[in-house]
């Protein structure tokens, strides 16, 4: 159905965006400071223009049609771009009291948050930062549902998927920024039976292991690499934090895998021995990922810039995440 954009009332799109976000006409009306009948009337007019029902009643709310789901990302992104263009001064870092929600693992937070706090204290002293635990290697649902403003971590499958979709011309609703490259190493306690000799693949696979798994899955990317080689390791403990892993390994004969740059942050690096993994493992790229609807928000632009500066400062003397002695 052809749509005459010249005669389209853009206010109808604002109503549509709010209804899609809330999935409830009453809440949408409240957020827009209009009556529910006015929301219903706007939807009726937009249905006539687009030739689609857009939403159907479902329980106490509404359920969008496939056409509505397809339209919404573009509509929301366009409305937010227009809003930020017309209101360029809406974020003043010096007085803003915005709360930013970030999802990342403890190892990543240990490197990035101190620098980010320093920047915030100097430039935006009234903002708040909330760091939430990262429990997945695919944070897109969290970002889509606006549970967090940004996720930071190692998301190889997500980055590959977004790149493939972009190259094929399919719309990609997420943006990414490479923050730094890391390298994983095998970590054990000082005095471990394997600490005083080169680590072989046979010794590595025969040892008992601790796995760091954010999601609780009993395997990780190291196990995928070993599986491709026809090998496996025995995981006897699974935890969801790198800090915990370091403490456990320092007091046992278990082996674990940690980001090399993180070992010094544990505060117990003098109790640990690092060995290169006895097989090829690609460098770990740590990326920030966010939803495109936030791309043009001035507050989000400040956050991205501050995070990038924090990463640059934290890894200024690093090669692949390995800090070079000064």
Q: For every one of its 326 residues, what pLDDT tens digit does the chain have, with 9 covering 90 and above?
A: 566 667 788 899 999 988 988 888 998 898 788 999 999 999 999 999 999 999 999 888 899 999 998 898 888 888 877 876 776 556 789 999 999 999 999 889 999 999 999 999 999 999 999 999 998 889 999 998 889 999 999 999 999 999 887 776 666 789 999 998 888 999 999 999 999 989 999 999 999 999 999 878 888 889 999 999 999 999 999 998 889 999 999 999 999 999 888 898 888 999 999 999 999 998 888 999 999 878 778 899 999 999 999 999 988 755 444 443 33
pLDDT at 321: 44
271 CB-near residues (< 8 Å, 6+ apart):
189, 190, 250
Is the CB of residue 285 less than 8 Å from the CB of residue 178? yes
244 CB-near residues (< 8 Å, 6+ apart):
none
pLDDT at 323: 44
In this structure, the number of other CB atoms found within 10 A of the CB of residue 215 comes to: 11
In this structure, the number of other CB atoms found within 10 A of the CB of residue 175 comes to: 18
Bridge partner residues of 182 (DSSP): 284
Number of H helices, E strands in the chain: 11, 14
Q: Where in the chain is the domain with CATH 1.10.10.10?
A: 5-84
- Per DSSP bridges, beta strands 61-64 and 284-291 are unpaired
- Second CATH level (architecture) for the domain 99-180+286-321: 3-Layer(aba) Sandwich (3.40)
pLDDT at 151: 97
pLDDT at 90: 64
- Per DSSP bridges, beta strands 208-212 and 234-239 are parallel
Is the CB of residue 314 less than 8 Å from the CB of residue 112? yes
In this structure, the number of other CB atoms found within 10 A of the CB of residue 322 comes to: 17
294, two tokens: 């936030």
State if pTM tops 0.75.
no
pLDDT at 4: 67
Q: Report which secondary-structure segment, H or E, holds 287.
A: strand 284-291
The string of DSSP codes covering 172-193 is --EEEEEEEEE-EEEEEETT-T
Rounded to whole angstroms, how far apart are CA atoms 36 and 13?
16
pLDDT at 22: 82
pLDDT at 141: 92
Alpha-helical runs (H) found in the chain:
10-22, 25-32, 36-50, 66-86, 106-123, 140-144, 156-167, 201-206, 221-228, 242-250, 298-314
118 CB-near residues (< 8 Å, 6+ apart):
310
Top-level class of domain 184-282: alpha beta
Is the CB of residue 258 less than 8 Å from the CB of residue 275? no
3-state secondary structure of 106: helix
291, two tokens: 């939803």
pLDDT at 87: 62
pLDDT at 290: 95
Q: State the Cα angle at 249 between 243 and 255, rounded to 5°.
A: 115
Top-level class of domain 5-84: mainly alpha
Q: Where in the chain is the domain with CATH 3.40.190.10?
A: 99-180+286-321, 184-282
């Amino acid at each position: 159905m052809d749509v005459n954009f010249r005669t389209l009332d853009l206010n109808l799109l604002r109503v549509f965006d709010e209804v899609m976000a809330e999935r409830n006409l009453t809440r949408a009306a409240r957020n827009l400071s209009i009556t529910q009948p006015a929301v219903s009337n706007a939807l009726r007019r937009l249905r006539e223009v687009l030739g689609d029902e857009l939403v159907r009643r479902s329980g106490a709310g509404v359920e969008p049609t496939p056409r509505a789901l397809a339209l919404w990302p573009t509509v929301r992104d366009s409305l937010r771009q227009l809003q930020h263009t017309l209101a360029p001064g809406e974020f003043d870092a010096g007085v803003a009291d915005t709360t930013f929600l970030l999802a990342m693992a403890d190892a990543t937070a240990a490197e990035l948050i101190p620098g980010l706090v320093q920047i915030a204290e100097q430039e935006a002293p009234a903002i708040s930062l909330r760091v939430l635990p990262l429990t997945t290697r695919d944070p897109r649902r969290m970002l889509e549902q606006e549970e967090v403003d940004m996720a930071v971590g190692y998301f190889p499958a997500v980055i590959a998927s977004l790149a493939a979709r972009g190259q094929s011309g399919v719309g990609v609703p997420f943006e990414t920024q490479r923050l730094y490259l890391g390298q994983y190493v095998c970590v054990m306690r000082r005095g471990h039976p394997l600490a005083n000799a080169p680590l072989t693949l046979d010794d590595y696979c025969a040892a008992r292991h601790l796995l760091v798994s954010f999601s609780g899955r009993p395997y990780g990317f190291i196990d995928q690499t070993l599986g491709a080689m026809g090998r496996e390791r025995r995981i006897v403990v699974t935890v969801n934090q790198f800090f915990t892993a370091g403490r456990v390994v320092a007091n046992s004969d278990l082996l674990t895998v940690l980001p090399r740059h993180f070992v010094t942050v544990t505060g117990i690096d003098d109790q640990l021995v690092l060995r290169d993994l006895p097989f090829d493992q690609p460098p770990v790229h740590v990326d920030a990922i966010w939803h495109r609807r936030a791309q043009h928000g001035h507050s989000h632009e400040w956050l991205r810039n501050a995070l990038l500066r924090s990463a640059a400062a934290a890894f200024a003397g690093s090669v692949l995440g390995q800090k070079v002695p000064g």
